A and B are shown apart, each in its own frame.
Chain A
Amino acid sequence: MTTVAPRKPWAATPADRLRDLAIFLLSAVLSYLVVAVTPAKGKLAYVGLFFIFYSVASGIAGWIKFGRRSAADLFIKTLIGLMAFVTVLPILSILTTVIAKGYRGINLNIFKTDMSLNAPTDPLNVGGLLHAITGTVILVSVALVLSVPLGILTALYITEVKGRFTKPIKFLVQAMSGVPSIVAGLFILSAVLYPITKAYSGFMASLALTILMIPTIARTSEEVLKLIPNDLREAGVALGGTQWRTVAMIVLPAARSGLMTAVILGIARIAGETAPLLLLSGGGDKVNPNPFHDPMGSLPYYIWKSFNAGSPEAITRAWAGLLVLITIVLILFTAARLLSTRKVK
């Protein structure tokens, strides 16, 4: 009996790989040459020309091997792959820039002090963003307390109660997710701050953030609750449970990790929100633990203020603030992904 080795006749052969590599190198060299001899210049010129050469070269290679139809196919394939690369390019640039420029402004001191005695233009070894971090944590926490119940109730209305307004509410939640953050800020300004409290405070900003957060939580929760098999609801009801007890004891616990994801995505959505804070929070420079009194600082406000101060120190402060902010967002985002990929047992 002869043993048969498994083969993959459809996989690329070494010759194919070599040809792909040759095309890649050729396009790189060509784009380098063109940049060298023509007035075109800059990193983007390299990238742009490389795109053109690479797509055309793979198209030609396809033509030689299989004819015209294949040429178009390969040309498009390369083009599409390169476009996907373009999508990722800004992310790479943003991350590297923030790290490269922000790390100089990061030291232990900034997590211990606030800016009550310093201006953004002061040397980097004085002042810090403690007030901004505590402020952002408080703003987000208050917004969470308000938006999580409303967001999840909205999702429950769509998936469990399924009342008369299901369709309009789905539409309204969608519409609400498109409300510009500045409009949410203006609304709180006109409806709460001017007529009632008449003073800037963290709570005002949290109200605006709540408006922005509800649709994210509602839509993600809706998706999650829809994935809970209907069998489980039927089993709960068939055991003599009321709808309320079935939802509370079976549906929500089964969706737990998904709902956590919804909440975390909601936080990520608002943690860096700036415009409403400019209108409502007052942006203090001192650590202020009370959201109902006195202006409250926050990371976005700190970044904004430092950036607009304009001196090299201030700009470095802004980058450092961005680095802290983006680290928080990334941690939240990773947590959300880990939670959502964990399978429901």
Chain B
Amino acid sequence: MSTVPAPRELTTRPRLSDRVFRRVVTAGGLSSLVILGLITVFLAYRGVEVLRQEGFNFITKSNWSITTDDAGNVVESHFGLAAMLVGTILCSAVAVVIALPISVATALYLNFYAPPWLKKFLIAVIDMMAAFPSILFGIWGFLVLMPSIEYWAKLLNRYLGFVPVFHVDAYVFTRSPFVAGVILAIMIIPIITSVSREVFSQAPLDRIQAAYALGATRWGMIKAVVIPHGRSGVIGGAMLGLGRAMGETVAVFTVLNIVFQVNWHVLFGVGGNVASLIILKFGEASPYEIKALMAAGLVLFVLTLLVNAIADLIVKTTGKSGK
């Protein structure tokens, strides 16, 4: 016991078949890295000309115009995403503000209130909703939901119109960022709900029972144990939802009235988002305009990556602090 030897260096090599296996799996595992890298490289490569031309104006100005002469050469062009970026943020912010409380309450209901049979059924239904195609939300939102939302939007404007975001310049309530936001909210509720449900279910049982043993009501227990435990996980889930809402294309394009004008008034029927701009302009875009669209795609890509990275970080830190 007096002398402890140094650990042995193990030099045996695994068999050839295992080395091949590990290489193949590693190569496959790196596919996500390769794909994400290629996306960045190619979008940047196609968009760099426009980005260089426009500089910061690309994200601060909001006009989208291109003039070509008869030979098809570009005479003059202005590309600025500001209105679309504002619209992206506005729509997805509305979505998260609406979806977050509903999702958290649903997750709490599923974990702590629902009878077991109902819980199973609801989880299946909500998971299923996450698999609904976005074009369905778009068309349903436009034809079915919009009239109802319009009514609520008018109500909000009448009683809360003095709050700047609820102000409207003209009496146009259809196809507003608010409508798009509500539809996006419905689309991201399943995501935030399932993340929240996950973190709530990890709340330590001993602490839950301790709270009950101290005479806490169910809500008291949730406030004292579950919410503090799950808070950052829920925020992470909301960020994931935000990322999804920012990248949504077809549903937003279907309901939103896309106009190149910076509009911070959620109820006013003018807006846009980067993804739907790409769909809108792609059909008749000239080669140079396509480059601008690629640059817009790059901006959107970086934005969603950023939001997702932050979300991932937040969700991970809860996992650790909770134990």
Minimum C-beta distance from A84 to chain B (A)? 4
List chain A positions with a Cβ less than 8 A from chain B. 40-44, 69-70, 72-73, 76-77, 79-81, 83-84, 86-88, 90-91, 93-94, 97-98, 149-150, 152-154, 156-158, 160-161, 163, 165, 168-169, 171-184, 186-187, 190-191, 194, 211, 214-215, 218, 242-245, 247, 265, 268-269, 271-275, 278-279, 300, 303-304, 307, 315, 318-319, 322, 325-326, 329-330, 332-333, 337
Q: Is the CB of B125 within 8 A of A182?
A: no
Minimum C-beta distance from B193 to chain A (A)? 7
Whole-angstrom CA separation of A84 from B113 in the bound complex: 10
Within 8 Å by CB of B124, from A97, A177, A337, lies A337
Q: Is the CB of B36 within 8 A of A243?
A: no
Q: Is the CB of A169 within 8 A of B29?
A: yes
List chain B positions with a Cβ less than 8 A from chain A. 14-15, 17-18, 20-22, 24-33, 35-36, 38-39, 42-43, 45-46, 101-103, 105-106, 108-110, 113-114, 122, 124-129, 131-137, 139-140, 143-145, 148, 151-152, 155, 186, 189, 193, 217-220, 240, 243-244, 246-250, 254, 275, 278-279, 282, 293-294, 297, 300-301, 304-305, 307-309, 312
Whole-angstrom CA separation of A273 from B38 in the bound complex: 22
Query: Cβ of A154: which chain B residues have Cβ within 8 Å of it?
Result: 28-29, 31-32
Query: Cβ of B28: which chain A residues have Cβ within 8 Å of it?
Result: 149-150, 152-154, 156-157
Whole-angstrom CA separation of A269 from B128 in the bound complex: 10
Minimum C-beta distance from B4 to chain A (A)? 28
Within 8 Å by CB of B249, from A86, A180, A242, A318, lies A180
Minimum C-beta distance from B28 to chain A (A)? 2
Minimum C-beta distance from B211 to chain A (A)? 13
List 17 other contacts, CB 8 Å, given A72-B217, A182-B247, A243-B21: A44-B151, A70-B217, A80-B106, A93-B144, A98-B136, A153-B25, A154-B28, A161-B26, A169-B30, A169-B32, A176-B35, A178-B243, A178-B244, A178-B305, A179-B304, A214-B31, A304-B135
Q: Is the CB of A77 within 8 A of B113?
A: yes
Minimum C-beta distance from A2 to chain B (A)? 33
Minimum C-beta distance from B135 to chain A (A)? 5
Q: Is the CB of B140 within 8 A of A94?
A: yes
Closest 7 CB pairs of A and B: A272-B133, A153-B28, A180-B247, A157-B29, A83-B105, A244-B21, A178-B308
Interface of B (DSSP majority class)? helix
Q: Is the CB of B133 within 8 A of A274?
A: yes
Q: Is the CB of B22 within 8 A of A175?
A: no
Minimum C-beta distance from A230 to chain B (A)? 18
Q: Is the CB of A329 within 8 A of B132?
A: yes
Whole-angstrom CA separation of A76 from B222 in the bound complex: 11
Whole-angstrom CA separation of A153 from B103 in the bound complex: 33
Q: Is the CB of A83 within 8 A of B106?
A: yes
Query: Cβ of B293: which chain A residues have Cβ within 8 Å of it?
Result: 186
Q: Is the CB of B14 within 8 A of A242?
A: yes
A-B contact pairs, 9 of them (CB 8 A): A87-B106, A88-B125, A154-B32, A177-B308, A178-B243, A187-B43, A275-B134, A322-B139, A326-B132
Minimum C-beta distance from B318 to chain A (A)? 15
Q: Is the CB of A300 within 8 A of B135?
A: yes
Please give me the residue from chain B that is nearest to A301 by CB atom: B135
Query: Cβ of B102: which chain A residues have Cβ within 8 Å of it?
Result: 83, 86-87
